[in-house]
Amino acid sequence: MSDDHTSQAWGIYGGVLEKYVINKNIKRLAAEGVVLENAFCTNSICVPSRASILTGQYSHKNQVYTLTDALESDKLNVAKILRSSGYQTALVGKWHLKKQPSGFDYFNVLPGQGRYNNPLLKDIHNWEDGNKGGKVFDGFSSDVIMDESIKWLDQRDKDKPFMLMTHFKATHEPFDYPDRFKNLFDGETLPEPESLLDFYPGKSGRTFEGQILEILTERWTKATQTKSNRYPGLPFDTEGLDSIQIRKKTYQKFVKDFLRCAAAIDDNIGKMHDYLEDNNLADNTVIIYTADQGYFLGEHGMMDKRMFLEESLRMPFVIKYPKEIPAGKRIDDIILNIDFPSLILDYAGVSQPDSFQGKSFRSNLMLETPSDWRKNMYYRYYAHAENRPSHMGIRTNQHKLIFYYGHPLGLKGTYTKKTTPPAWEYYDLENDPMELSNQYNNIENKKIISQLKRDLLNLRTKLGDEKTDSDELKVILENHWE
For 143-192, the three-class secondary structure string (H helix, E strand, C coil) is HHHHHHHHHHHHHCCCCCCEEEEEECCCCCCCCCCCHHHCCCCCCCCCCC
Distance (Å, whole) CA 56 – CA 67:
18
Indicate the pLDDT class of residue 130, thresholds 50, 70 and 90.
confident
Query: What pLDDT was estimated at residue 387?
Result: 94
CB 318 within 8 A of CB 12: yes
To the nearest 10°, report the CA torsion of 12, 321, 169, 60.
100
Would you say residue 201 has pLDDT above 70?
no
pLDDT tens-digit series, residues 365-408: 999 999 999 999 999 999 999 999 999 999 999 999 999 999 99
* Cα–Cα dist 66/47, whole Å: 7
In percent, how much of the chain has pLDDT > 70?
A: 100
Determine the average pLDDT of the residues in 73-86: 97
Residue type for position 181: F
Q: Tell me the domains of the chain and their CATH numbers.
A: 7-178+257-375 (3.40.720.10), 377-480 (3.30.1120.10)
3-state class of 92 per DSSP? strand
What are the φ and ψ backbone dihedral angles of 430, each rounded to 5 degrees?
-75, -40
Q: What is the CA radius of gyration of the chain?
A: 22
pLDDT in tens, 245-300: 999 999 999 999 999 999 999 999 999 999 999 999 999 999 999 999 999 999 99
Cβ atoms of 395 and 363 closer than 8 Å: no
Q: Are 59 and 42 in contact (CB under 8 A)?
A: yes
Average pLDDT of the chain is: 97
Dist CA 165 CA 29 (whole Å): 17
pLDDT (0 to 100) of residue 202: 67
Q: How far apart are CA 247 and CA 199, in angstroms?
A: 10
135/24 Cα distance (integer angstroms):
32
Task: Identify the band that residue 203 occupies on the pLDDT scale cut at 50, 70 and 90.
Answer: confident
Give the span between the Cα atoms of 480 and 114, in whole angstroms: 42
- pLDDT tens for 346-365 read 999 999 999 999 999 999 99
The backbone torsions φ and ψ at residue 203, rounded to the nearest 5 degrees and listed phi first, read -95, -5
Q: Is the peptide bond before 178 cis (omega within 30 degrees of 0)?
A: no
pLDDT over 80 at 60, yes or no: yes
In order of 84, 229, 272, 381, 433, the CA distances from 392 in angstroms are 36, 38, 38, 6, 19
